[in-house]
C-alpha cells in the first residue's frame, strides 16, 4: 500500500529538519516503511498496519508543527514514541496567537511548555518561568504583557532586571543614567521592537506607559494596574526578591523569569530565585513553569550546547557529593 500526504499548511523545512535530519530520524522509527519526502509531498508505502500507525503519528507531528511552528529532535522522539494522553492534550489546547507584532508578525507559543506558561499566566497573578537560554521565557512574557496592554487589561508595563555584569567587569560607562543602564535592558527592548511599531514604542516609553528600569528602582513603589516582568531573576539576592514581590498591587500581573544555571552573583551572595521558589511552593495564585532544552527555539546548536553543560554540571555535582560522603566521619 502507498499513501501520499501534501504539506499544504506547514513549512516542509520544519518537518524535514536541517539537512533532512528529522526526516531521517523519522525513518529510523519505522524501518518497515519506505518514506520519500520531496518538496511539499511525503510518500510512504508498506503494510496496512504499519501505514495506519505511521499516519496517526504523522498527523500528531503535523499538528505540533501547525501549533508551534517548530520541531526539534527530542520533540519528534516524544511524539512518535510516547503514547500517553499528554501528547494529545498538549496539541488540543488550542493554537492561541498571543499578539500580532510588527509587520504582521504572529507571536504565539512555539512549544508545549511555552503554551503552559501562557496558560499559567492566565490563571495566576504571579508566575515563575524558569529555563535555560533560548527557551523563549522572556520573549513570551513580554508578548503576554503587550497583549494585556493592547487589551486594556492593564494601564502600563514595567519591565525590570538586576543590573549585574555577566562575568566580566565593564568598568566606567559614559553617559547619563539611562545610557549607563540601557545595555543591561537591551533584551527587553529587542522583544518590544518585535511587537510594537517604533514610533508607538517611543511614545509609550516617553509617557511612562512602558517603563524599563533596573531592579533597584523598584524599591518603595506599589505597582497597581500593571503587568510587571522581572527578568534574569537568578541574579537577585534574597532581599531584592522579597522587595520585588512585595511591590504587587491589587490589580497587577507579575512574571518572574530566570535561569538558575547562569547566576552572575558573587560566590557568597545567595540567589533569591531558588529561595523564593522554596518559600512560596504550593501557594495558591502562584504558577511555576519549567522550560528545558526541548523548548530552545534558537539555532539547533544551542540545544546541544545546553545539554553538554548540563551533563558536565551533573558530573561535577555527583563528584562533589562523593567527596563529601568520603569526608563524613564514621557513625558511632
**Residue 327 falls within a domain, yes or no?**
no
Residues 109 and 87 in one domain: no
In this structure, what CATH number is given to the domain that contains residue 86? Answer: 3.30.1370.10
Contacts of 160 (CB under 8 A, 6+ apart): 212, 213, 214, 215, 217, 218, 228, 229, 230, 231, 244
Contacts of 129 (CB under 8 A, 6+ apart): 117, 120, 137, 140, 141, 255, 256, 257, 289, 291
| Cα angle 94, 187, 220; round to 5 | 95
- Which of residues 280 and 326 earns the better pLDDT score? 280
Element (H, E) at 227: strand 226-230
Q: Is residue 172 scored above 70 in pLDDT?
A: no
Residues 123 and 272 in one domain: yes
Q: Is residue 91 scored above 60 in pLDDT?
A: no
Instruction: Tally the residues of the chain.
Output: 332
Q: What percent of the chain has pLDDT over 90?
A: 42
- Which of residues 176 and 267 earns the better pLDDT score? 267
Q: Is residue 197 scored above 80 in pLDDT?
A: yes
Confidence (pTM): 0.66
If we measure between CA atoms, which residue out of 118, 109, 22 comes closest to residue 66?
109
**Residue 182 falls within a domain, yes or no?**
yes
Answer with the one of 49, 76, 91 that is the final residue of a domain: 91
Q: Classify residue 192 by burial, with Cβ atoms within 10 Å: 0-12, 13-18, 19+.
A: buried
In this structure, what CATH number is given to the domain that contains residue 118? Answer: 3.40.50.300
- Mean model confidence pLDDT for the chain: 84
Residues 73 and 109 in one domain: no
Q: Is residue 310 scored above 90 in pLDDT?
A: no
Residues 179 and 280 in one domain: yes
**Residue 324 falls within a domain, yes or no?**
no
Task: Determine contact, residues 242/267, Cβ cutoff 8 Å.
Answer: no
Answer with the one of 74, 91, 108 that is the final residue of a domain: 91
Tally of domains in the chain: 2
pLDDT-derived band at 220 (thresholds 50, 70, 90) equals: confident
pLDDT-derived band at 174 (thresholds 50, 70, 90) equals: low
Domain extent for 127: 97-295
Crossing angle of helices 73-81/48-68, nearest 10°? 140
Q: How far apart are CA 313 and CA 243, in angstroms?
A: 31
Residues 219 and 79 in one domain: no
pLDDT-derived band at 166 (thresholds 50, 70, 90) equals: very low
pLDDT (tens digit per residue) in 28-71? 999 999 999 988 899 999 999 999 999 989 988 988 887 777 78
Three-state DSSP class for 182?
helix
Give the pLDDT of residue 100. 83
Residues 103 and 76 in one domain: no
117-120 long-range Cβ contacts below 8 angstroms, 24+ apart:
117/141, 117/289, 117/291, 118/144, 119/93, 120/287, 120/288, 120/289
Residues 30 and 102 in one domain: no
Answer with the one of 68, 91, 114 that is the final residue of a domain: 91
- Rg, Å, the chain Cα set: 23
> Euclidean distance between the first and final Cα of the chain, in Å?
72
Amino acid at each position: 500500500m502507498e499513501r501520499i500526504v501534501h504539506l499544504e499548511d506547514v513549512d516542509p523545512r520544519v518537518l524535514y529538519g536541517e539537512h533532512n535530519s528529522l526526516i531521517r530520524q523519522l525513518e529510523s522509527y519505522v524501518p518497515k516503511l519506505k518514506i520519500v519526502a520531496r518538496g511539499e509531498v511525503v510518500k510512504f508505502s508498506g503494510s496496512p498496519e504499519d501505514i495506519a500507525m505511521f499516519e496517526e503519528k504523522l498527523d500528531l507531528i503535523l499538528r505540533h508543527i501547525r501549533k508551534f511552528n517548530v520541531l526539534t529532535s527530542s520533540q519528534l522522539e516524544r511524539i512518535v514514541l510516547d503514547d500517553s494522553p499528554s501528547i494529545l492534550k498538549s496539541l488540543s489546547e488550542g493554537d492561541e496567537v498571543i499578539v500580532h507584532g510588527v509587520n504582521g508578525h504572529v507571536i504565539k507559543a512555539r512549544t508545549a511548555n511555552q503554551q503552559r506558561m501562557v496558560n499559567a499566566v492566565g490563571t495566576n497573578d504571579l508566575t515563575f518561568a524558569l529555563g535555560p537560554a533560548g527557551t523563549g521565557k522572556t520573549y513570551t512574557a513580554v508578548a503576554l504583557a503587550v497583549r494585556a496592554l493592547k487589551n486594556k487589561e492593564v494601564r502600563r508595563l514595567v519591565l525590570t532586571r538586576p543590573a549585574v555584569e555577566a562575568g566580566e567587569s565593564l568598568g566606567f560607562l559614559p553617559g547619563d543614567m539611562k545610557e549607563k543602564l540601557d545595555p543591561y535592558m537591551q533584551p527587553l527592548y529587542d522583544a518590544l521592537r518585535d511587537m510594537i511599531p517604533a514610533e508607538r514604542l517611543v511614545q509609550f516609553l516617553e509617557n511612562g506607559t512602558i517603563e524599563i528600569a533596573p531592579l533597584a528602582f523598584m524599591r518603595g513603589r506599589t505597582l497597581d494596574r500593571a503587568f510587571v516582568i522581572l527578568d534574569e531573576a537568578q541574579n537577585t539576592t534574597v532581599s531584592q526578591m522579597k522587595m520585588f514581590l512585595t511591590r504587587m498591587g491589587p490589580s497587577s500581573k507579575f512574571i518572574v523569569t530566570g535561569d538558575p544555571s547562569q547566576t552572575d552573583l558573587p560566590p557568597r551572595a545567595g540567589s533569591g530565585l531558588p529561595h523564593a521558589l522554596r518559600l512560596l511552593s504550593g501557594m495558591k495564585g502562584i504558577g511555576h513553569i519549567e522550560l528545558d532544552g526541548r523548548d530552545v527555539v534558537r539555532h539547533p546548536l544551542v540545544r546541544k550546547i545546553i545539554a553538554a553543560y548540563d551533563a558536565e554540571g551533573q558530573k561535577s555535582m555527583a563528584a562533589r557529593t562523593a567527596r563529601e560522603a568520603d569526608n563524613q566521619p564514621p557513625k558511632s
